[in-house]
């Protein structure tokens, strides 16, 4: 839930970023409230994934700023961003197929600021009971929905305050997507984590979002609180 008057957890101001000569972000700006789900929607190829990568420091910023809490993190290397509390769950999930579920979870510790930290198993399995049952199973043998849960769980192992989540429902059946939506809501409520979500599916976005931004050709073209936006506005902006 958005806490009125709280300071934004993340502010992106006039961001410009490119792959070589090809400019993708053309002055992108957004502000995220703490403990809320902010969702970026837009057609394929408008730059949503590029925005998450640039915030995470995986693509250099050419112009503009990124502020996390009170800190300017525009040029902070990605591993430092991870240690300062930002976790990124990429599109496609990037589970290591040959490692077990538990070993995949352990990978999240590399981004933890305390080098003696352990996987908070009780907390993780409370949120994702299926991962407890499959603890010793190879990550590659999990279904798409289970791998998505594992990817989010692995991100949580680093103890983030901000989660960047790229199309978590891609290739996942609606009932499982809804389950993941419930877990996300629980996370935001119980742990006051802030989520920046890139999403194409309206039903899922409606289930979890507090605030929307619509992106077109590297810029935000509209934003608003979830309850202010009608279904039709959402559809207009994401229809291909
Ligand atoms: N590694 C790359 N090198 C060069 N161009 C890229 C690279 N990755 C993406 N692009 C291009 O950047 C543009 C924006 O891509 P991006 O993945 O950010 O879009 P998106 O809004 O997330 O779309 P989608 O929903 O399809 O993932 C596209 O034109 C894409 O072809």
Tens-digit pLDDT profile for residues 104-153: 999 999 888 888 889 999 999 999 999 999 999 999 999 999 999 999 99
**Residue 90: inside a domain:** yes
**Pairwise CA distance, residues 163 & 180, whole Å:** 14
The pLDDT tens digits for 43-82 are 999 999 999 999 999 999 999 999 999 999 999 999 999 9
Which residues have any ligand 1 atom within 6 Å of their CB?
19, 22, 24, 42, 44-50
What confidence score (pLDDT) does residue 232 get?
60
User: What is the CA(226)–ligand 1 centre distance, in A?
Assistant: 26
What confidence score (pLDDT) does residue 166 get?
96
Q: Which residues span the domain enclosing 212?
A: 8-227
What pTM value is reported for the model? 0.92
Tell me whether residue 78 is exposed, middle or buried, using C-beta atoms within 10 angstroms of its C-beta: 0 to 12, 13 to 18, 19 or more: middle
Q: How many CB atoms lie within 10 A of CB 2?
A: 17
Average pLDDT score, the chain: 91
Element of type H or E holding 103? helix 101-107
* Minimal-distance CA residue to ligand 1 atom 30: 45
**Pairwise CA distance, residues 48 & 11, whole Å:** 16
Q: For residue 151, give both structure tokens.
A: 């990817």
What confidence score (pLDDT) does residue 235 get?
64
User: What is the CA(119)–ligand 1 centre distance, in A?
Assistant: 33
**Residue 89: inside a domain:** yes
What confidence score (pLDDT) does residue 240 get?
44
Residue % of the chain over a pLDDT of 90: 77
What confidence score (pLDDT) does residue 146 get?
93
Element of type H or E holding 58? none
CATH number of domain containing 132: 3.40.50.300
Residue 203 has pLDDT above 50, yes or no: yes
- Name the nearest CA neighbour of 152 among 169, 135, 165: 165
What confidence score (pLDDT) does residue 193 get?
94
* Minimal-distance CA residue to ligand 1 atom 4: 19
Mean pLDDT of 164-172: 93
Pocket test for ligand 1, best of 15, 16, 17, 22 (most atoms within 8 A of CB): 22
User: What is the CA(50)–ligand 1 centre distance, in A?
Assistant: 6
Mean pLDDT of 155-164: 95
Determine phi and psi for 71, rounding to 5 degrees: -105, 135
**Residue 186: inside a domain:** yes
**Residue 14: inside a domain:** yes
* Minimal-distance CA residue to ligand 1 atom 28: 45
**Residue 185: inside a domain:** yes
Task: Specify the number of domains making up the chain.
Answer: 1
Q: How many CB atoms lie within 10 A of CB 25?
A: 26
**Residue 69: inside a domain:** yes
Q: For residue 55, give both structure tokens.
A: 């915030």
**Pairwise CA distance, residues 34 & 236, whole Å:** 28
ipTM given for this complex: 0.95
**Residue 218: inside a domain:** yes
Tell me whether residue 67 is exposed, middle or buried, using C-beta atoms within 10 angstroms of its C-beta: 0 to 12, 13 to 18, 19 or more: middle
**Residue 161: inside a domain:** yes
Ligand 1 atom with the smallest distance to the CA of 218 is 14
């Amino acid at each position: 839930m958005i806490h009125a008057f709280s300071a934004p957890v993340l502010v992106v101001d006039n961001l410009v970023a490119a792959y070589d000569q090809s400019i993708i972000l053309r002055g992108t700006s957004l502000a995220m409230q703490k403990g809320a789900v902010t969702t970026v929607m837009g057609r394929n190829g408008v730059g949503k994934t590029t925005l998450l990568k640039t915030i995470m420091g995986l693509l250099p910023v050419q112009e503009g700023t990124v502020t996390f809490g009170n800190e300017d993190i525009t040029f902070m290397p990605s591993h430092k961003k991870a240690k300062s509390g930002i976790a990124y769950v990429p599109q496609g999930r990037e589970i290591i197929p040959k490692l077990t579920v538990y070993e995949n979870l352990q990978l999240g510790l590399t981004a933890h600021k305390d080098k003696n930290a352990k996987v908070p198993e009780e907390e993780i399995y409370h949120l994702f009971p299926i991962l407890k049952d499959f603890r010793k199973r190879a990550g590659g043998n999990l279904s798409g929905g289970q791998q998505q849960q594992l990817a989010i769980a692995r991100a949580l192992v680093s103890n983030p305050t901000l989660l960047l989540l790229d199309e978590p429902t891609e290739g996942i059946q609606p009932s499982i997507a809804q389950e993941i939506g419930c877990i996300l809501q629980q996370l935001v409520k119980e742990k006051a984590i802030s989520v920046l979500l890139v999403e194409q599916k309206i039903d899922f976005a409606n289930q979890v979002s507090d605030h929307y931004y619509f992106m077109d050709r590297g810029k935000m073209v509209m934003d608003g609180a979830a309850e202010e936006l009608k279904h039709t506005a959402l559809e207009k902006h994401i229809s291909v």
